[in-house]
Every structure is written in C-alpha cells, then in structure tokens.
Chains A and B, each alone.
Chain A
Amino acid sequence: DAGITQSPRHKVTETGTPVTLRCHQTENHRYMYWYRQDPGHGLRLIHYSYGVKDTDKGEVSDGYSVSRSKTEDFLLTLESATSSQTSVYFCAISEPQETQYFGPGTRLLVL
C-alpha cells in the first residue's frame, strides 16, 4: 500500500460538534482527495487539493471544508456535524493524470 495514513480510524460524535479528519502521505504526491462512501453511491468526491494551499470543491462539498498547509497533510473539517455526514471517509493521493491510491478510511458516526 502507498504511504497513506488516516486519523482517527473510527470516531463517534454528536450532532453539532466540529470534527477534523487527517490524511497524511509520505509519497510526496501533488494531488490529495477526500471522498465519502455510502451504500449505493460508490465513492463521491468532497474536496481535492492540487498543491499546498490550492483546493477545490467536489460534487458533495456542502458542509465540509479542507486545508492543506503542507504537501503531506490534507485536513477535512465538518464545521457542525450532522447525521447525514455519517459515512466512511477515504483520502486518496495521486500525481497529475495518474492513478489514485487510497488510504485505509475513517468510519464516522454522528449521533
């Protein structure tokens, strides 16, 4: 597996609380992505980054923000978690126009 870690791996939180998920890579890949995975929907892109401090929205970005202050770290923040954000979150990395490699995932439960 590519050098990608995610933390935490599991989290239970309450509606209305802020949550930050971290993705860390040791591959020095330029692109980083956040996806959510829900039954029947496959993987849907939340946000992505094409360089330090360069980010853009994906197809399901509402309620999420991201930051990338270093090449190796990409943070996903849920400002005020809702039950609809209960999901499995995957980070991925790639070089431009190249294969994406996924992290191990974070299971988030919002009560």
Chain B
Amino acid sequence: GENVEQHPSTLSVQEGDSAVIKCTYSDSASNYFPWYKQELGKRPQLIIDIRSNVGEKKDQRIAVTLNKTAKHFSLHITETQPEDSAVYFCAASEGKLVFGAGTILRVKS
C-alpha cells in the first residue's frame, strides 16, 4: 500500500521568511495530493491540493509543487505570519488518503 513520509517533523522560521515542507510517496498510482493545516485542538482543514496532471498550484502565499517522476511534493509558504503556526499534514491518494506524520511549524515574531 501507499506510504507517505514527511519532513521535517518540526520547523521554526522567523516571521516574514519562507517555509518549505516536503513529502515523498511510494505508490505511483496516487493521483491526488492535499495539504491540511491543524491548529491546536481543532480539526484538520484543507489549505491546498494538487492533482497529478498539474505540476504546481498557487493560492496567495501558499504553493504546492509535484514531481511525479521522483514521487515527491512540497508545500511552500511565503511571508510567514504568526497565524501560520500549526501542524501541517500532507497526504497522497489513489482512492484512500494516506497521511504523513505531520510537521509542526512555528513562526517566531
């Protein structure tokens, strides 16, 4: 089955800097790659997603890139703000979602 690895497990950045989180997946049949943000005590919420027929997608300060050949995808957050502090999860799906273990992002002001 699918296996998703996510790095780093924790990331601290200064406010205004960029943050990058990387994920690799094992199943070449996976075709959908969402990213979720989870604040403390809250539910995971979708922030951006990408399908396998697209290499990059951007939504304001957030972008996701996908390299199907290398089987990895990344989340990029530019101009980070304190409210970006949360746990971020990547996932890959060829029908069922398989999640990475999560990245704790801390934005220091």
Contacts and interface: CB of A to CB of B under 8 A. Distances in A.
B43 A104 contact: yes
A45 B96 contact: yes
A20 B102 CA distance: 28
A59 B97 contact: no
Interface string B12-55: 00000000000000000000101010000011111001000000
Nearest to B43: A102
Given A42-B89, A97-B32, A103 B97 contact: no
Contacts of B46: 99-101
Contacts, number: 41
Interface residues of A, number: 19
B73 interface: no
A42 B87 CA distance: 10
A90 B97 CA distance: 14
A40 B43 contact: no
B44 A90 contact: yes
Contacts of A97: 32, 95
B101 A59 contact: no
Nearest to B101: A42
Interface of A: 1, 40-45, 48, 58-59, 90, 97, 99-105
Given A42-B100, A90-B44, A102-B43, 17 more contacts: A1-B43, A42-B99, A42-B101, A43-B89, A43-B99, A44-B99, A45-B96, A45-B97, A48-B96, A58-B96, A59-B1, A90-B43, A99-B34, A99-B46, A101-B46, A104-B43, A105-B43
8 contacts: A44-B99, A45-B96, A58-B96, A90-B44, A97-B32, A99-B46, A99-B49, A105-B43
